[in-house]
Amino acid sequence: MTARSMGSLDEDDRVRNDRRLGVNSSSGAHPFRPACLLEAVRSGGMAEMGESYVDDDAMEHTAQLTERIYAGECPRCGQSFEAPPRLPGGSRETRCRCIPVCSPCSSDEPDASLSPWTWPLTEAQILARDAQQQERMRPAEPGIIAVDAEGRVVVVTKSGVTKAALRPNPGGWAEFGYDDGPDQLESEGR
């Protein structure tokens, strides 16, 4: 799909496409919105290319990644999303985490953040990611999440008590709640 076949890719078109198709991620603060992906692509493109950055390239790249998402493919690696009722993870490339990515990419992003400008990953990057994830896999010890006497969140296991490392700004619905209503552009009539 090209930017032309998606129409002018103006804000109204992106919102209409999103509302019609309703793609969700497990951690997104709202359904996927191509406008959020476009902002992440623009940001990454400017950082990667500097003065040679062209906004038309960002629009075209966003259209291609959006097509993948609506086809049920991870925009980061091309792998198919898991079948419902499972939801794809939410990319950490936006605070709202509405960009759906497959489970391996969702697990990989904290360690290997790559701007959507560089998506999709090369086969070598995917193989390296998969090897790294296999290396990190180990059985989890059963535990209970609790609050200690000082008000800290801890994990209690047979091995002892460990302070839980919680992110102060997790993004997505955990930070912002969930909003499946119209976004700001739609509310303003754009």
**Among residues of the chain, what percentage have pLDDT more than 90?**
24
Give domain status of residue 143, yes or no.
Answer: no
Average pLDDT of the segment spanning 135-143: 78
Report which DSSP code applies to 84: T
Q: What is the pTM of this model?
A: 0.69
Identify the bridge partners of residue 155 per DSSP, sorted by sequence position: 145, 162
Give domain status of residue 163, yes or no.
Answer: no
Give domain status of residue 111, yes or no.
Answer: yes
The whole-number pLDDT of residue 186 equals 47
Give domain status of residue 63, yes or no.
Answer: yes
Give domain status of residue 76, yes or no.
Answer: yes
Total domains present in the chain: 1
Average pLDDT of the segment spanning 19-38: 83
Confidence band (pLDDT; 50, 70, 90) for 190?
very low
Confidence band (pLDDT; 50, 70, 90) for 67?
very high
Range of the domain at 92: 11-136+176-187
Give domain status of residue 155, yes or no.
Answer: no
Task: Determine which of 17-31, 35-49, 138-152 has the lowest per-residue pLDDT on average.
Answer: 17-31
Residue located via tokens 């697990």: 107
The whole-number pLDDT of residue 184 equals 55
Give domain status of residue 165, yes or no.
Answer: no
Give domain status of residue 66, yes or no.
Answer: yes
Confidence band (pLDDT; 50, 70, 90) for 4?
very low
The torsion defined by the Cα of 74, 77, 83 and 84, in degrees rounded to 10, comes to: -30
